[in-house]
Structure 1
Amino acid sequence: MKQKSTLFILLAILFSFTLQAQEVQYTLISQTTSEVVIRVDFPNYYETTPVEVNGEILYKLAMGNAYPTEQLGAPELLKSTTSIIVPEGVQPTISVLEANFSLVSNFNLAPSKGRLYRDIDPSTVPYVKGDQYLVNGFMGDNQGVIGTPYQLRDFTGVTVTVHPFAYNPVQKELKVYQSLILKISYSSENSVVAKKNNVVFDQIYSRHFLNYKEYSNSKYNPLTEEGELLIITPATFVTALQPLKEWKIKSGIPTTIVPTSIAGSTAAAIKTYITNYYNANNLAYVIIVGDHTQFPYFTLSGQTADNYFTEIAGSDNYPDILLGKISAENVDQVTVQVNKFIGYDQGLFTQTHHASFCGIASSEGPGDNNEYDYQHIRTINNLLQTFTYTSGYEFFDGSQGGLDASGAPNATMVANALNTGIGVINYCGHGDWNLFVSSNFTNTHITQLVNYEKLPFIFSVACQNGNYVNKLCFAEVWLRAISGGKPTGAVGALMSTINQPWNPPMCAQDEFARVLTDATPAFTKRTLGGISFGGIMKMLDVYSDASTARTWVLFGDPTMMVRTTQGTNITASHMNQVAVGATSIVISSPIDGAKVTLTHNSQIIAQGVISNGTATLNLPTTLVQFDTVHVVLTKFNHNPYQGFFEVNTINQPYLVYSSHQFNNSQGTAETAPETGKNNKITLVIDNIGMLPSTNVRCALRSSDPYVTITDSVEQIATIAASSSTTFTNGFTVKFANNVPFGHSASFTFVITDDLESRVFSFDQRVLAPFPSSGNIRIVDGGNSALDYGETATIMIPIENLGDASAITGYTKIESLRNYLSFFRELNPVNTLVANTIQDYGFLVSVKPSVNTPRVDLIQLTYKTGGYTYVRTYEVGIAGAITSGVDDQEVTSLKIYPNPTSDYCSFTIPENITSEKLSYAIFDMYGKLIIQNKITENQVVVDLTTTAAGVYMIQIFDGTTPISQNKIIRK
């Protein structure tokens, strides 16, 4: 129950690497039109927990990404599951191509208690051995079980289930698998095509299906557009929902509001309407509006099951759309929630709390992964800290150490934390329709909150928190909360309408955290719906728990991009006015990856993505004089840009930049220019005015230090009205031979005619090498260390980490303390293409004068073109102990994670106790980027303001550098 400081983050990062190493891992080996081959690697580490059953000590098993089989009375084995895409209509078969395992004798495996629900404590349920213990054979040895095919939108998927262990209860032998290679075979002439793909489901597919990348790259061109949002509501709420519709459209999501008078008056009729709308459109999201008396709901087996609306394609339980609920009884309650969603989306609210987490849990269990509730939540908290979360709270029943204070938490503690500011809450424990049992935080406490604008989103594994029928449930109070006219409570909550089981929702909650913290480059969008239903799909893969999936209701806006840190403002520039008939507009912004949306009259007319500082969007021909077009740029953890331009008839010449292309010196198009090369540039300009432009002059300018323009001007006598001209290879640019890796050069075109001059700017990424070197090793035919009088070879990997070739160069190697003699100091290095490593050997001998153990410093200088790289290594002679602070040893100063996207951390070795420590980060050309004092052994580095590229971090004792390492910023 203590707030976490940023100094704890390294432990969490170390945890994440350990966790990944201890999980079941799946690798796609190959895929053809008739088979998929996958490899499964099981971690060497697995956990055994003793339990006493009738005086006998038995053991429970646990392993990352492996889950209990829940077969009552049977030995509790584990299973792990992945999904793959197969052609529609096939019945796949599976075969084991290779299996590696070992046997453990005299192992007493505990029986399963079956599937338990959260209205009971698992510790009160006894272990009972069933008749399965009489079977003299290995249970769980059916490796590679294919599940029933299911439909996830356009894709047919099947689960592949494996077992890390098999067990013979009579012989008490445990078979422990290390790896498997499986072949899934099928025969089909059907192709696999995703007709309804969009950004959010593209990312869901990429996590859910092991082989999705193969289809997305080779079978179709993935769409970059957003899916559509359908809002179904009683007619009385339509006007209150209009601002949400307008904002969603402006931010790039086509949105339609349909009253229930059209969609239907029963749940079945509304589902039919949603299905028909899905079949006719690229529907991704649905929001249903109203409490149980305003909006019809499904009751399946006596359970309120809103997510049944999502089951559209196929006859399975996998959600094909992302569903959210705005529960409201009147217009005011709708307005409160709409204002929350818009304010959060637009970055209008306070944002200092977004990087703070809160975990609340009981001390009961164990459940999924053999974790007690508090252990489960602590695992999630640790994972969050490997991402952008830098502070947080733990409120656990009992005294669990860490951030949790002794004793049981209470509602006041939780309220104080919320009022201070929390970005995300994960709860796991008992619950009811009006409270978290752990902490006894109730509906009343929510209404008393003063967390103005500091709104978290909540994932709750608990009973009944979302049971909204005939009562004002916990989730509804969180979303409706307002105090003094200001929004309080929460901005979203995933909560159940039923008594949840113990294991399955814990599996889903783990996946929520994994999706939220997914740092892969392609994972650019994190919507509340994508996170929630991504976790539910994982749970369906593992546990096939349709009841939990259908009844876990998302209260909130499923399209909302969550925030995990304070947002960065997006800046952009563009023309304020375009002519009638203009065919395109250029939007410039330094925020690469930002999505650009143009809207007119509440319709999306163009979309694009900022790349290399610009996006060129085509304009429709339907725009007329005096039209206003809105421009919105959005990106994860950024505050959107909102602007506009006007369309007007221009009764004069009006020249605008249209496009440009970098070509090589022979005039052939290139994807990007390269350091040290000459390039020609082709320019296209348009006259969008109603009169011809005369005496047109185009000048290319740049103040970039790495750019020399040798041919800067092109001229033409006339450009006719409403036409364009192309200056093919009209400009010549030379890039210096030492352009830093990751550098973008800035250019402007000044276009002048008899009437006026106009300036257009763009940035261009320049490809460049990044010379570096790896760890040294001694090759001597003996102990891999230098001894008195010995001659050996020092091997050093020479690296090019850049995106252009490092041309033929040389290395110089020298002994700085004169204990070693190199047979040749200068050595040629061949051309290294981008992102390659080549080992080079340097023959060396220990000088005869060295007769006591010594540590020498070897300085390597690598010269390639205009780049010079220098690194110093420590080398021990005759067993001399190195200091541990040369740049190689503090490469064991391990940077986590590396590569990184926003934050990284390192630890100062305990043997360095100076009070004058500091660190500095330089770009590859030596410019100082960041400098700070070091006051703790564990250090967190904030790289959110730096551009993508490779940097060098140096540790200083006073003014003396004592270590260094590379940091790769994605």
Structure 2
Amino acid sequence: MIHKTTPNGLLAIFATILFLVAPMLSFSQSATPKKTAISLVSDNGEATVMKFDAGAMGQKTVSTPAGEALVITMDDGTPILKKGFPDLPKLTASIIIPDEKNMQVTVTESSYTDFENVLVAPSKGSFKRDVKPSDVPYEYGTAYQEDAFFPKDIAEMRDPYILRDFRGQTVIVYPFQYNAVTKTLRVYSEITVTVSPKEKGEAINVLKRHVNSDKIATEFQNVYSSQFLNYGSDIRYDHMEEEGNMLIISYGTFMDEMQPFVDWKRQRGMPVEMVDIATVGNTKTAIKSYVANYYNTNGLTFLLLVGDESQVKTSSTNAGDSDNDYGFISGNDHYQEIFVGRFSAQTGTEVTTQVNRIIAYEKTPVDDNYFSKGICMASNEGANIGDDGEADYEHEDLIREQLLGYTYTEVAELFDGTHGNVDAPGNPSDNMLRDLVNAGAGIIQYTGHGSTTSLGTTGFNNSDVGTLTNTTKWPFIWVVGCSVGDFRTTTCFAESWARATSNGQPTGALSSFMSTILQSWAEPMEAQDEINLILTESYVNKINRTFGGLSINGCFSMNDKYGNNGNEMTDTWIIFGDPSLVVRTAQPTSMAVSHNPTINPASSTFSVACDVENALAVLTVNGTILATAKVSAGNAYLSFDALANEDPLTLTITGFNKSPYIATISVEQSSGSHVLGDVYDVPGHFPALADHLGTIKYSTTLIDLGQEPKGISPDANNLFSTGIAVYPNPFDQITSISYYVAADAAVTVVLYDQSGREIKRLVNNEMQVAGSYQLTFDGTSLPVGAYFCQVIIDGKPQVEKLFIAR
């Protein structure tokens, strides 16, 4: 351990902070403050080593009964919030731990500096937003009479939790310790810890794995990347990625209105099952049991409840009413295994409103760039008490900057008070918000006060929502505010946005995240920070696109950082809308897609060329999912069992900020051969090419669509039994080259221009097993004209002509 003690005077901390420790306190920061870095040193499946490098620290001076005192903050830190104890920040990170072992954390290395004669203010603790921070006094507790450092230990862990496929645990590190009697502030610049199994002690929240637990839903793979520091390096288990599924529990009368929603979700690749609440039983115990059994039997990613509270009961925890409680399935913790949402409706018409809004947003987005416009709203309160020590408006101003640094082009400020920038003087009104929403906003963020039927800032209420006319321009909304989602006994503010219409057309919002109880000041601000950091891709390899995934990822971060205080907020924050909604942050653009317009009923594969990596391609027939595949290296390969009939297929491709591509694929049984090429005498027509390809005479390429490819009809001197297919042909940029290998053989595939010059070697004498193959050729950089593809299988060449036309 390295340490030093610094007396009164001008102090350097972390090479970026200067302190003047005296009755009047001040500091200055460099233009580029150091960022906190939490890094994984090693992970062998049992023990994990982590390093915490403390970033820039800050201080604010507050008046207390003992005089002027410091409130300490730091980059990426969150306050301990222990009332009456020194107000100091902490750092946290979650890791994957072994399924059934009791773990311990050990500090293996640290470096600190002591600063003397420093008065640190006591924390006011955690309290709800119906209490004004200025009304809560600073009270010096018992820690200020003890000649000892607080916190006692610089590292500890919260209880283990189960998050679906993994058992996790949060490590807490305290970069600051304070001895109130000696007035010594100890500041750590770096701390390295090791988390390892204990030899003794009973483990809690152990994870019992299912036999078929080798697949991870795509949405949760994204969550794990954000949640666990060691997820990418975890060597405990091998997993495959799969698309998530949805269970809908609906009030029986609403099931017909929900069917278009079910059909669309299946068309875009999500397995969906809908059940009547009468089958489940309309009690929270029955619903919770049914969902847990379904999860354990079928796997489950999204749960959608359809109906108001009396029609489909909400659950509850000690914190209050909680739909999220249905997602707490494995372990005794507050980390959900599934994403839960609700279409709150009292009539079939209100269900249809929510269904139509979601389908239109995902399937047929309007050509109006409202998607990249946003609104940030905030109160004028919370200074020194909010997360990161921020007032509400400071917090929202930072979110606004994040959005503008991403894909958003305009983000309005509606802040109470006068704060400069683009914030107008005075307090914003309900008319200001109404005009912005009607003009088009893709996202709305709020931090402030609220009630069951209104927002504090602007005063916007249920009646105002009813006057909206944004019939094709719907935002998604995240609210930090009290009781705006308290829907059990009245029509709450969140429900008014979900049910809103104008002349029978949906207005209001797509999905919103609003609380059933009074929210606290700091804790939900942390969740909102994390939501926006992930939304704007501020992390490397931490991306989430669904409203449910974004919202709950934020809650997980809040749980990590604030423990039980965060758990209360997680329990009672409700998604009013579709948790699987794929959000848009910019005007959707088209994808370049090419594929065969028909398919042979005997086929079991179908290929698609697409210019959007990771776009999801889906084949469905009569509302049933046939196959799904992600686009990789410009292609998606869909595999399925032989078709049962000749009903047409639907191909649907979706991607982030892309308009869906939808096409009908005809199923055709051919009794003869189709022409895929022309007759060439290569030496006679292209003498230069003959030097490379040899003297090859061949006739038309013939493929019998009713059977396996029979190949090119050769002359007697060039006998081979495979064929080449090029689609599309002609093409302007990208085409697919398919060929068939009858038996294991060495294969070479080369592209030439008309002069015989080699353009590209796609396969170079590789051994390939018998079967069908498909390659992608990108001719974007080539001029228009004719080219030749030579495929040599087991020493036997064949040639197909390609045409680039623009």
Match in the other structure for 2:747 = 729
1:762 corresponding residue in structure 2: 776
- Per mean C-alpha deviation after superposition, the further-off stretch among 436-445 and 608-617 is 608-617
Deviations 1:408-448 (A, max 9, x none): 11111111111121111111111001111111111111111
The alignment partner of 1:283 has SS state of coil
Is the contact made by 1:42 and 1:179 (CA closer than 8 Å) also made in structure 2? yes
Change (3 A) 1:761 1:153: closer
Q: Report the CA distance shift for 1:357/1:578 in structure 2 as closer, same or farther (over 3 A).
A: same
- 3-state DSSP of counterpart to 2:646: coil
For 2:318 and 2:750, the matched residues in 1 are separated by 73
Measured at CA, do residues 655 and 523 of structure 1 come closer, stay the same or move farther in structure 2, by a change above 3 Å?
farther
- The CA distance in 2 between the partners of 1:494 and 1:440, in whole Å, is 19
Does structure 1 retain, via aligned residues, the 8 Å contact 2:671–2:704? Answer: no
1:266 counterpart (266, 271, 283) = 283
Partner in structure 2 of residue 112 of structure 1: 123
Distance 1:600 1:438, change over 3 A: same
Percent identity reads: 32
Structure 2 residue corresponding to 1:256, chosen from 253, 273, 290? 273
Is the Cα contact below 8 Å between 1:580 and 1:688 reproduced in 2?
A: no
SS in 2 for 1:451: coil
Secondary structure (helix, strand or coil) at the match of 1:224 reads: strand
Counterparts in 2 of 1:21 and 1:638: CA distance versus 1, 3 Å: farther
Q: 2:420 matched to 1:401?
A: yes
Instruction: Find the counterpart in structure 2 of residue 628 from structure 1.
Output: 648
Alpha-carbon separation, structure 1, partners of 2:180 and 2:529: 31
The answer on 1:600 being equivalent to 2:612 is no
- 1:489 counterpart SS class: coil
Q: Does 1:573 align with 2:591?
A: no
Q: What is the DSSP-based 3-state SS (H/G/I as helix, E as strand, rest coil) of the residue aligned with 1:170?
A: coil
Residue among 247, 257, 264 paired with 1:240: 257
> Are 1:228 and 1:253, in contact at CA under 8 Å, matched by a contact in 2?
yes
Map of 1:833-872 to 2, 5 A cutoff?
Answer: none
Once the two structures are TM-superposed, the CA of residue 336 in structure 1 deviates from its matched residue by 0.2
* TM-score, structure 2 as length reference: 0.80
Code of the residue aligned with 2:747 in structure 1: it is: N
Structure 2 contact 84–125 (Cα < 8 Å) conserved: yes
Choose the corresponding residue for 2:713, options 695, 698, 701: 695
Q: 1:765 to 1:496 in 2, by over 3 A?
A: farther
Are the aligned partners of 1:654 and 1:693 in contact in 2 as well (CA < 8 Å)? no
8 Å contact from structure 1 (residues 341, 491) kept in 2: yes
Aligned to 1:611: 632
Which residue number in structure 1 is paired with residue 464 of structure 2?
445
Query: In the alignment, what sits opposite 1:26?
Result: 38
Q: Is the 8 A contact 1:599 1:631 kept in 2?
A: yes
Contact 1:78 1:165 in 2 (8 A): yes
- Matched residue, 1:583: 604
CA contact (8 A) 2:319 2:568 kept: no
Counterparts of 1:413 and 1:34, CA distance in 2 = 56
Per the alignment, in what secondary structure is the counterpart of residue 579 of structure 2? coil
What residue number does 2:305 align with?
288
Q: Which secondary structure state, in structure 1, belongs to the residue aligned with residue 594 of structure 2? A: coil
Structure 1 residue 347: deviation in Å? 3.7
Q: How does 1:793-942 map to 2 (within 5 A)?
A: none
CA distance in 1, matches of 2:531, 2:414: 20
> Which residue number corresponds to residue 642 of structure 1?
662
Give runs of aligned pairs for residues 6-405 of structure 1, distance below 5 A.
Answer: 22-43=34-55, 45-54=56-65, 56-186=67-197, 195-215=214-234, 218-301=235-318, 303-366=320-383, 367-405=386-424
CA contact (8 A) 1:654 1:689 kept: no
**Aligned-partner SS, 1:441:** coil
Task: Quote the Cα distance in structure 1 between the aligned partners of 2:464 and 2:31.
Answer: 36
Instruction: Give the corresponding residue for 1:792.
Output: none
Amino acid at match of 2:52: V
Question: Can you list the C-alpha shifts for 1:108-146, whole angstroms capped at 9, x where unaligned?
Answer: 111111111011111121111111100111112512212
Helix, strand or coil: the match of 2:472? coil
Change (3 A) 1:155 1:655: farther
For residues 744 and 364 of structure 2, the distance between their equivalents in structure 1, rounded to whole angstroms, comes to 42
CA distance in 2, matches of 1:725, 1:687: 19
Instruction: Quote the offset at 1:486 in angstroms.
Output: 2.5
Deviation at 1:552, TM superposition (A): 0.3
Q: 1:762 to 1:373 in 2, by over 3 A?
A: same
d(CA) in 2 for partners of 1:347 and 1:238?
23
How many positions carry a matched residue from both structures?
Answer: 691
CA gap of 1:65–1:347, structure 2 versus 1, over 3 A, is farther
Tell me: CA distance 1:324–1:699, structure 2 relative to 1, closer, same or farther (3 Å): closer
Match of 1:582, as an amino acid? S
Task: Tell me the distance in 2 between the aligned counterparts of 1:119 and 1:52.
Answer: 23
Per the alignment, in what secondary structure is the counterpart of residue 405 of structure 1?
Answer: coil
Deviates more, 1:585-594 or 1:464-473: 585-594
The alignment's C-alpha RMSD in Å is 3.2
**8 Å contact from structure 1 (residues 313, 320) kept in 2:** yes
State the distance in 2 between where 1:306 and 1:452 align: 28
Q: CA deviation at 1:305?
A: 1.4
Give the unaligned 5+ runs of structure 1. Answer: 1-17, 658-677, 679-683, 708-712, 736-743, 748-759, 768-970
TM norm structure 1: 0.67
Aligned AA for 1:97?
T
Cα deviation, residue 21, structure 1: 5.7
Contact 1:197 1:282 in 2 (8 A): no
SS in 2 for 1:573: strand
Aligned match of 1:934: none
Deviation at 1:726, TM superposition (A): 8.4
Answer whether contact 2:375 2:441 (CA < 8 A) is retained: yes
Distance 1:699 1:635, change over 3 A: closer
Between 1:511-520 and 1:268-277, the stretch displaced more is 511-520
Distance (Å, rounded) in 2 between the aligned partners of 1:495 and 1:293: 19
- Letter of the structure 1 residue corresponding to residue 284 of structure 2: A
Query: Which residue identity does 1:352 align to in structure 2?
Result: N
- Measure how far apart 1:611 and its partner are: 2.3
Q: Could you tell me whether the CA contact under 8 Å between 1:228 and 1:281 is conserved in 2?
A: no
Taking structure 1 as reference, are residues 98 and 222 closer, same or farther at Cα in structure 2, changes over 3 Å only?
same
Secondary structure of 1:606's counterpart equals strand
Q: Kindly state the Cα deviation for residue 24 of structure 1 after the two structures are TM-superposed.
A: 2.8
Please say if residues 732 and 780 of structure 2, whose CA atoms lie closer than 8 Å, have aligned partners that are also in contact: no
TM-aligned CA deviation for residue 338 of structure 1: 0.4
CA distance in 1, matches of 2:335, 2:657: 29
Show structure 2 runs of 5+ residues with no match: 1-29, 200-205, 678-692, 694-700, 715-722, 754-758, 763-773, 782-806
**CA 1:319–1:700 in 2, change beyond 3 Å: closer, same or farther?**
closer
Give the superposition deviation at 1:515.
1.4
Residues 298 and 305 in structure 1, CA contact (< 8 A), matched pair in contact too: yes
- Larger mean Cα displacement after TM superposition, 53-62 or 183-192: 183-192
**Partners of 2:224 and 2:402 in 1: CA distance:** 22
Q: Relative to structure 1, is the Cα distance of residues 551 and 706 closer, same or farther in structure 2, using a 3 angstrom cutoff? A: closer
Q: Secondary structure at the match of 2:111?
A: strand
- Partner residue of 1:547 out of 529, 546, 568: 568
Deviation at 1:745, TM superposition (A): 7.9
User: Aligned-pair distance for 1:558?
Assistant: 0.6
User: Do 1:28 and 1:211's aligned partners in 2 also have CA atoms closer than 8 Å?
Assistant: yes
Contact conserved, 1:746 with 1:762, CA < 8 A, in 2? no
Equivalent-residue separation in structure 2 for 1:212 and 1:302 (angstroms): 31
Give the counterpart of 2:455 among 422, 430, 436.
436
